Amino acid sequence: MIKQLKTLAVVAVATLTANIYAADKPNAEEGKKLYEANNCGSCHALDKKVVGPALRGVNNRRSEEWLIKWIRNNEAFRKSGDADANKLYEEYGKAAMNVFENLTPDQVRHILEYIKTAPAPVKAKGPTENVDGASKNDDGSNLYILLTLIGIFIVVLFILSKVRNTLRRLAAERSGEILDSKGGAIRGLLPEKLSNMNPTVLTVFIFFIVLIVGSTWGYKFGITEVGVQKGYAPKQPIAYSHKLHAGELKIDCKYCHIGVEVSKSATIPSLNICMNCHKGVQKASTAEGDGISPEIAKIYKALDYSPDSANYTKAFGPNAKPIRWVRIHNLPDHAYFNHSQHVKVGKLACQTCHGPIEKMEVVQQWSSLQMGWCIDCHRTAGIDAANNNYYAALHEKAAKDLKDNKNRSKYFTPDGSVKITPAMNGGLECAKCHY
Ligand code: HEC
Ligand code: HEC
Ligand code: HEC
Ligand code: HEC
Ligand code: HEC
Ligand code: HEC
């Protein structure tokens, strides 16, 4: 009994001291918060390559010093000539990772500790997939499965009936009866011409008809129905309004979605960007009294910021509540879409694809994001090939073709104006959009 009490006491003291020291040591929980608050998850997952590499195991691939330099300012680090950093950057097609100089080296150590100790995923869904957390609506794939099952069922029936016929014939041969060769349940249903055909040819024939009809239908279904979630507008954890910020306050989209011109993904801003204004703006101008808006208080809580001392103290400590924005737009993993290609090179306005975001109180998915949608635009959108170096070769070829009177119809729209489309630049090639 006494021995047990002793053990208990030792354990209690050990836990206490561990907690005291934990403040200085890298702390995974702290790291998880920072990882989420800085939206690392919008480009990284622990176990899957997203925009950037899968992060699990990075502690073994790189030294701590290297990682701190990289995460805090990969741009400067690359410029300093570090070979590994430059190699990595090239490897990822020069997709730029953000600079996180707001993070102290200690904070980066917390994040690294989190990456090191995060539990392995359950069923391939990483614990950091918060941004992707919103599962897709039912995408009709159940119907697909059902039809496949029906198809298999029909084939089985067909085979069974053939087997039955063969058995019957064998039985008939043994007993000396002569069976009508046109017998059989299915054959009886077929028109005269077909039922006279050789059974093997007939089987192959039917098989191909089913295959062609099935795959045409499946293809159509695939490009128009699967994954449709147009109009999806989930409630977000902070009542952040694009109508107010992008519409009335006229903040540039790129101020927050910093990746949009330079990388594949537009990125969701980290709360630090909000703090550029919301350190000062603590409530709506129309709100009565001088209490802090509960919505803005959520930002403070997530960042462990104390508005009283205007400092990132541990105001909320373990009660700090990280923000998990619900991801709205989400292409399937096998499709590749790149923002910089469309916004910077293609010079498309965000609204072409996202609709009037600056009027939306709550963002909703405006376009279907279906393959048919991408393809339609690639067939019809005009690109300004004359004033864009990226298209120099294409433009030269078009000018030459027109001069030589070759392929003229290719370059004209029905109304007679000249048009160069992404389709002419390979915009319909499977490999451009599929990994
Ligand atoms: C805008 C997208 C983006 C965001 C946000 C982002 N990263 Fe990255 N990260 C990348 C890309 C892309 C690379 C690959 C190198 C390159 O192309 O710059 C990378 C590389 C890394 C690497 C090196 C991995 C390796 O295999 O060596 C680490 C570590 C890393 N990021 C950590 C983080 C952390 C921590 C955060 C959040 C504080 C973060 N990243 C946020 C895009 C991002
Ligand atoms: C002050 C920062 C800020 C500005 C400015 C801003 N956004 Fe956003 N945007 C956010 C935040 C935060 C989210 C995530 C929460 C949400 O969906 O409302 C978001 C979400 C989005 C989404 C949905 C992302 C998803 O989950 O699929 C789109 C699309 C978008 N913004 C487009 C725009 C466009 C277009 C503009 C310019 C007209 C713009 N944003 C201006 C902060 C901003
Ligand atoms: C460029 C400055 C600026 C940035 C950046 C900014 N905001 Fe705001 N925000 C404002 C202003 C100004 C108001 C108050 C408008 C008014 O009512 O007068 C406001 C109001 C709000 C409100 C409404 C508060 C209420 O109670 O009505 C919320 C919520 C909010 N912002 C969230 C965010 C979030 C989240 C971010 C980061 C993604 C962000 N803001 C970035 C300037 C900014
Ligand atoms: C050609 C169509 C198109 C244009 C133009 C476009 N987007 Fe997107 N956007 C998409 C698609 C498609 C997705 C889904 C990408 C995915 O899931 O990989 C998306 C996703 C997003 C997201 C959420 C995911 C992410 O990439 O971080 C944001 C935020 C966003 N867009 C903002 C913008 C802003 C801001 C602009 C204008 C500067 C813009 N987009 C222009 C098609 C477009
Ligand atoms: C509103 C019109 C529009 C929509 C919608 C659109 N694109 Fe594009 N896309 C363009 C234009 C314009 C270009 C030419 C710019 C360029 O070449 O980078 C382009 C270029 C591309 C390229 C590069 C082709 C090349 O040869 O350089 C890819 C890949 C691509 N788009 C993928 C997609 C995917 C995937 C989708 C659907 C999720 C999509 N696009 C939706 C207009 C669109
Ligand atoms: C301009 C971009 C683009 C091109 C070119 C393109 N795809 Fe797609 N594809 C997509 C996108 C985006 C999706 C995901 C959205 C969807 O399911 O419709 C998709 C989805 C698919 C799917 C899966 C449909 C499903 O059930 O989810 C298949 C199969 C496919 N594509 C095959 C092809 C083939 C084969 C080609 C070449 C002939 C091709 N794609 C060319 C953009 C493209």
Residue 121 lies in a domain: yes
Average pLDDT, the chain: 80
- 98-157 per-position pLDDT tens digit: 888 888 999 999 999 999 988 876 654 333 333 333 333 344 456 777 888 888 888 888
Torsions phi, psi for 412 (to 5 deg): -115, 140
- How many Å lie between the centroid of ligand 5 and the Cα of residue 226? 20
36/32 Cα distance (integer angstroms): 6
Question: Are 326 and 236 contacting, i.e. CB atoms less than 8 angstroms apart?
Answer: yes
- Ligand 6, atom 19, lies closest to the CA of 371
User: Among the three residues 132, 161, 190, which one is the final residue of a domain in this structure?
Assistant: 132
Mark whether 152 and 127 lie in a shared domain: no
Q: Residue 128's pLDDT is what?
A: 36
pTM higher than the cut 0.85? no
3-class state of residue 92 by DSSP: coil
- 23-57 per-position pLDDT tens digit: 468 889 999 989 988 888 777 888 877 678 889 98
69/82 Cα distance (integer angstroms): 10
Mark whether 125 and 24 lie in a shared domain: yes
Mark whether 106 and 128 lie in a shared domain: yes
Q: Residue 85's pLDDT is what?
A: 92
Which of 109-118, 194-203, 350-359 shows the lowest per-residue confidence on average (mean pLDDT)? 194-203
The angle that helices 28-37 and 294-303 make with each other, rounded to 10 degrees, is 130
Query: Which of 371, 373, 378 to probe ligand 6 with, by most ligand atoms within 8 A of CB?
Result: 371
Q: Say yes or no to pLDDT of 329 above 80.
A: yes
Q: Residue 413's pLDDT is what?
A: 67
Closest CA to 365 of 396, 401, 337, 330: 330
Mark whether 118 and 205 lie in a shared domain: no
Residue 420 lies in a domain: no
The ligand whose atoms approach the alpha carbon of 255 most closely is 2
The average pLDDT across 67-81 equals: 92
Q: Residue 8's pLDDT is what?
A: 45
User: Among the three residues 82, 98, 132, which one is the final residue of a domain in this structure?
Assistant: 132
Residue 306 lies in a domain: no
Residue 375 lies in a domain: no
Show the ligand 5 pocket: residues with CB < 6 angstroms.
Answer: 331, 335, 337, 341-342, 345-346, 348, 352-353, 369, 373-374, 377-378, 381, 383, 422, 425-427, 432-433
Query: Which of 142, 229, 433, 435 to probe ligand 6 with, by most ligand atoms within 8 A of CB?
Result: 433
Q: Say yes or no to pLDDT of 411 above 80.
A: no
Residue 275 lies in a domain: no
Mark whether 118 and 159 lie in a shared domain: no
Mark whether 29 and 46 lie in a shared domain: yes
CATH code (residue 59): 1.10.760.10
Mark whether 91 and 167 lie in a shared domain: no
Residues in the chain: 435
Mark whether 92 and 145 lie in a shared domain: no
Which of 77-91, 188-202, 377-391 shows the lowest per-residue confidence on average (mean pLDDT)? 188-202
Q: Say yes or no to pLDDT of 19 above 70.
A: no
Stated as kind and residue range, the H or E segment containing 69 is: helix 64-79
Mark whether 120 and 185 lie in a shared domain: no
Count how many domains the chain has. 2
Residue 276 lies in a domain: no
DSSP one-letter string for 406-421:
-SGGGGB-TTS-B---
Domain of 179 in residue numbering reads as: 141-224
Mark whether 117 and 151 lie in a shared domain: no
Distance of CA 130 to the CA centre of its chain: 12
Q: Give the torsion sign (CA, 184, 188, 189, 191).
A: positive
Q: How many CA atoms lie within 13 A of 123 on its CB side?
A: 0
189/192 Cα distance (integer angstroms): 9
Per-residue confidence at 93, pLDDT binned at 50, 70, 90?
confident
**End-to-end alpha-carbon separation of the chain, Å?**
65
Mark whether 79 and 198 lie in a shared domain: no
Per-residue confidence at 419, pLDDT binned at 50, 70, 90?
confident
Question: Are 30 and 110 contacting, i.e. CB atoms less than 8 angstroms apart?
Answer: yes
Residue 378 lies in a domain: no
The average pLDDT across 327-352 equals: 91
Which of 5-9, 69-73, 378-382 shows the lowest per-residue confidence on average (mean pLDDT)? 5-9
3-class state of residue 274 by DSSP: helix
Mark whether 112 and 219 lie in a shared domain: no
239/274 Cα distance (integer angstroms): 13
Query: Which of 278, 325, 326 to probe ligand 3 with, by most ligand atoms within 8 A of CB?
Result: 278
- 230-271 per-position pLDDT tens digit: 778 888 999 999 999 999 988 999 999 999 998 999 999 999
* Sequence-distant (≥ 6) Cβ neighbours of residue 422 within 8 angstroms: 346, 377, 378, 381, 383
- Bridge-partner residues for 295, per DSSP? none
Residue 341 lies in a domain: no
User: Among the three residues 83, 102, 132, which one is the final residue of a domain in this structure?
Assistant: 132
Q: Residue 105's pLDDT is what?
A: 92
